[in-house]
Amino acid sequence: MRERRLGVAVWVKNTRAAKNLRKFGTIHYISKRLNYVSMYVDANLLDETIRIMEKLHFVTKIERSHRHEIPVEYNNARPDKAKEYDYKQEKNQVMALAETLLTEESSQATVGST
């Protein structure tokens, strides 16, 4: 089973030194323009890992991700009436187009047979 990992944003002074963070977790993205590293760290060792990384000379700030705190299951979700209306209207347009194509095809078949 996969280990539970949490996201961490590590602000660094120089992105070249960011490669040294590989030993603390999995690096997801390195921003050269904003000088930060987005990485995943084992949830069991998160506090200890952050404490060690803060002592590194090239690290300026570390922020934890709060994404795991956001609920992803939504209860009492109401359907969007505007979208529902658009789908019905689109279905009616497709059905009308199909009917016109069928009538045109049948009229051409009768004209071609005579």
- Answer yes or no: is 24 within a domain: yes
Q: What is the CATH number of the domain that holds 28?
A: 3.30.70.80
The sign of the torsion formed by the CA atoms of 106, 112, 113, 114 equals positive
Query: What is the reported pLDDT for 62?
Result: 97
CA distance 1 to 89: 47
Domain contains 70: no
> Which residues lie across from 61 on neighbouring strands?
11
Position 33 in a domain? yes
User: Is 13 among the domain residues?
Assistant: yes
Six-digit token string for 11 = 């602000």
Full domain range(s) for residue 40: 5-64
110 vs 15, higher pLDDT: 15
pLDDT digits (tens, 9 = 90+) for 27-40: 999 999 999 999 99
12 vs 89, higher pLDDT: 12
Asked whether residue 31 is assigned to any structural domain, the reply reads yes
Q: Is residue 52 part of a domain?
A: yes
Q: What is the pLDDT of residues 47-106, one digit of tens each?
A: 999 999 999 999 999 999 998 888 877 766 666 666 666 767 777 888 888 888 888 888
pTM above 0.75, yes or no: no
DSSP annotation of 39: E
**How many domains would you assign to the chain?**
1
83 is a domain residue: no
What is the b/e burial string over 61-85, where b = at least 16 CB atoms within 10 angstroms of the residue's CB? ebeebeeeeeeeeeeeeeeeeeeee
- Is 42 part of a structural domain of the chain? yes
